[in-house]
């Protein structure tokens, strides 16, 4: 998940970046409303954290202009203001949640995950046949066996599972999973995918993770995986041109 953070207090930004990245988010931080607005016009963020008191304006104005422009990005307002009327104003301007400083970083991360879930209306459990991913505990099981995934491996698998059956390009993964810019010829994405594939698919007849040569990766959609399981024992050879046979 890629997050936009607009906050001008350097110390808070540093803490947020460390804590949120450790929690598996990709974080872009900006100190002004105008820089945040510009970033929003380029990148499809999964959620935004906005401070209210910014050097070039009020976070509420930024939020209101986002909503006027039709943005549905979930927004959490972060502020020292704790008067009831400030909270009401924030929620009226289109905020989805509100956290008053000082706050616990773990609570912020949990609230952001909850916002993203609510926004998409998704069940916290992602299931593809015998693979289940609990997006609250951030654990993945295949056939009831816990997959020992690093934070980044988990983030990639969850992202693929949120887009089942869809081609996910390397650029998609770089944008949503990596905080740092990758070198043009870096093979780090392939390295991570290979590790995930080993943990996810080794020893299982039904392979869930596919590499689409020269394009990217995809995880089987639940409907497709079910079909494969049903037809597995005596599955006829796939007709030529079938992109990804069972
Ligand atoms: Ca501020």
Give me the domains of the chain, ranges plus CATH numbers: 2-120 (3.40.50.2300), 125-227 (1.10.10.10)
| SS3 state of residue 44 | coil
Q: What is the mean pLDDT of residues 177-187?
A: 81
The pLDDT tens digits of the residues spanning 127-177 come to 898 999 988 788 999 998 999 999 899 999 999 998 889 999 988 898 888
- b vs e for 67-106, b when ≥16 Cβ sit within 10 Å of the residue's Cβ? eeeebebbbbbbbeeeeeebbebbeebbbbbbbeeeeeee
Say which residues have a Cβ less than 8 Å from residue 46's Cβ, sequence separation at least 6. 1, 2, 3, 73, 74, 116, 176
pLDDT at 92: 85
Alpha carbon separation from 91 to 38, 47, 118, 121 (Å, rounded): 23, 15, 16, 19
What is the Å distance from ligand 1's center to 153 Cα?
Answer: 34
Q: How far is the CA of 81 from the centre of ligand 1 (A)?
A: 10
Answer whether residue 21 shows pLDDT above 80. Answer: yes
In angstroms, rounded to a whole number, what is the distance separating the alpha carbons of residues 242 and 220?
A: 14
> Distance from the CA of 111 to the center of ligand 1, in angstroms?
20
> pLDDT tens for residues 27-83?
999 999 999 999 998 887 889 999 988 999 889 999 998 998 888 899 999 888 777
- The SS3 assignment for 165 reads coil
Tally the residues of the chain: 246
| Ligand 1 geometric centre to CA of 7 (Å) | 6
Ligand 1: distance of its center to the CA of 169 in Å? 37
Specify burial of residue 144 (Cβ count, 10 A radius: 0-12, 13-18, 19+): exposed
Average pLDDT on 108-113 reads 90
**CA 175 to ligand 1 centroid distance, Å:** 27
Q: How confident is the model at residue 178 (pLDDT cuts 50, 70, 90)?
A: confident
CA dihedral sign of residues 42, 44, 49, 50: positive
Residue 119 to residues 72, 97, 163, 164, Cα–Cα distance (Å): 8, 12, 15, 18
Q: Tell me the CA–centroid distance for residue 37 and ligand 1, in Å.
A: 16
Q: What is the mean pLDDT of residues 109-138?
A: 83
How far, in Å, is the centroid of ligand 1 from the Cα of 224? 49
Q: Report the predicted TM-score, pTM, of the whole model to 2 decimal places.
A: 0.66
- CA 79 to centroid of ligand 1, rounded, Å: 7
Task: Report whether the peptide linkage leading into residue 102 is cis, meaning its omega lies within 30 degrees of zero.
Answer: yes
**Residue 205 Cα distances to 114, 189, 196, angstroms:** 34, 24, 16
115 CA to middle of ligand 1, Å?
Answer: 22
Sheet with 209-212, strands from edge to edge, namely: 168-169, 216-219, 209-212
Q: Which of helix, strand or coil describes residue 192?
A: helix
What pLDDT band is residue 24 in, cutting at 50, 70 and 90?
confident
Distance 102 CA to ligand 1 centre (A): 12
Compute, in angstroms, the gap from residue 180 CA to the centroid of ligand 1: 25
- Residues 130, 145: contact at Cβ < 8 Å? no
């Amino acid at each position: 998940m890629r997050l936009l953070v607009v906050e001008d207090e350097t110390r808070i930004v540093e803490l947020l970046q460390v804590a949120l990245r450790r929690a598996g988010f990709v974080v872009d931080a900006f100190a002004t409303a105008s820089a945040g607005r510009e970033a929003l016009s380029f990148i499809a963020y999964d959620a935004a954290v906005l401070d209210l008191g910014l050097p070039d304006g009020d976070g509420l104005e930024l939020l209101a202009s986002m909503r006027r422009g039709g943005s549905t990005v979930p927004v959490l307002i972060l502020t020292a203001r704790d008067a009831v009327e400030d909270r009401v104003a924030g929620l009226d301007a289109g905020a989805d949640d509100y956290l008053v400083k000082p706050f616990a970083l773990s609570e912020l991360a949990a609230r952001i995950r909850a916002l993203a879930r609510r926004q998409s209306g998704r069940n916290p459990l992602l299931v593809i046949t015998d693979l289940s991913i609990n997006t609250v505990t951030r654990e993945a099981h295949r056939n009831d066996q816990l997959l020992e995934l690093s934070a980044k491996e988990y983030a990639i698998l969850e992202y693929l599972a949120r887009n089942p059956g869809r081609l996910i390009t390397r650029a998609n993964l770089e944008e949503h999973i990596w905080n740092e810019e990758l070198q043009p010829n870096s093979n780090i994405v392939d390295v991570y995918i290979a590790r995930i594939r080993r943990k996810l698919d080794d020893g299982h007849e039904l392979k869930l993770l596919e590499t689409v040569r020269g394009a990217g990766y995809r995880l089987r959609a639940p409907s497709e995986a079910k079909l494969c399981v049903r037809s597995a024992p005596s599955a006829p050879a796939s007709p030529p041109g079938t992109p990804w046979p069972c």
